[in-house]
Structure 1
Amino acid sequence: MPIAHIHVLAGHPRPVLKQLLREASAAFAQALDAPPERLQVWITEVDPELYAIAGEPADEVLARTPRAQAEIPLIRMALMEGRSTETLHRVMAALSATTARVLGGDPQRVRVQIDHVHPDRWAIGGVPASQARAAELARRAAGQGG
């Protein structure tokens, strides 16, 4: 169920974005100690003419400022409730560092938001996760992974 949605300004080369998908997925899985096949990572490119940096259209800012000094990537994650604060901090740090490194920016400019989802508010095939994965959630709560 873990999802990471990375928002960046349009204009990065496609191979760089594909590399970000690969590396962010690996960092996400490692930081969460989760199977990679359970994770989803996607990138949304935002039109610089429709994005403001300090109240000014980003295309105008980028005309005079290097991208790495102007862009502020945003990573929004949806994670099932129940992970420790340490785990949340680890995943925020890992995805921030990976995003900055792959895009050639400063990790201090990356922003991360984690939205917790209660297992009764996430469905798998129309069945609440609280029911569909009850055994898995019990293992996780007991610290046995899953």
Structure 2
Amino acid sequence: MPVANLHVLSGHPRQNLKSWIRETSQALSDILAAPKDRLEVWVTEIDPDLWGIGGEPASEVLAQTPRHDAEMPFIKMILMEGRPVEQLHRVIAQLTAITAHLLNADAERIRVHIEHAHPDRWGIGGVPASIRRAAELAVRQAG
């Protein structure tokens, strides 16, 4: 069920973005013990004219400031409720490290936001996760 939307200014090499998807997916699978076939990870590239940095369009900021010092990659995730906080902290740390490495980004400027979905408010094929995956969720919450 984990989903992650990786937001970044356009202009990064396509191969780096594809590696970002692969490495993020692997980290989520490893840390969350989530099967890869249940993960969704995608990159949203934002036009620098449409992303504000310090109240100015990023295109104008980047004309004067190196990307490394200006860009703020943003990762938004949704996970099912019930995971240990230590696991969430590992996700934040690992996705920050992956992003910094692959995008040559300043780790201090990377933001990761994790939202929780209650199983009654997350649908899978038209059925609430609380019903569809009741046994699996029980095991996950007990462990």
**Global fold match (TM > 0.5):** yes
Give the Cα separation in 1 of the matches to 2:37 and 2:68.
Answer: 31
Aligned to 2:108: 108
Aligned to 1:70: 70
Aligned to 1:28: 28
What is the correspondence of 1:27-106 to structure 2 with a 5 Å cutoff? 27-106=27-106
- Superposed CA offset, 1:88-144 (max 9, x none): 11111111111111101121111011111000001111000000000101111221x
Which one-letter code corresponds to 2:63 in the other structure? A
* Cα deviation, residue 15, structure 1: 1.1
Aligned to 2:128: 128
- Superposed CA offset, 1:5-38 (max 9, x none): 0100011111111111111111121121211111
Give the share of equivalent positions with the same residue, in percent. Answer: 62
SS of the aligned residue for 1:79 comes to: strand
SS of the aligned residue for 1:31 comes to: helix
Give the Cα separation in 1 of the matches to 2:54 and 2:136.
Answer: 45
Q: Any stretches of 5+ residues in structure 2 without a counterpart?
A: none
Structure 1 residue runs of 4+, over 4 Å off? none
Name the Cα RMSD after superposition: 0.8
Give the Cα separation in 2 of the matches to 1:73 and 1:24.
Answer: 14
How many residues are paired up? 143
Which one-letter code corresponds to 1:112 in the other structure? V
Q: Any stretches of 5+ residues in structure 1 without a counterpart?
A: none
Residues 6 and 76, structure 1, Cα contact 8 Å, conserved in 2:
yes
TM-score of the aligned structures, taking structure 2 as reference length: 0.97
TM-score of the aligned structures, taking structure 1 as reference length: 0.95
* Cα deviation, residue 74, structure 1: 0.4
Give the Cα separation in 2 of the matches to 1:32 and 1:70.
Answer: 31
Give the Cα separation in 1 of the matches to 2:68 and 2:25.
Answer: 22
* Cα deviation, residue 63, structure 1: 1.0
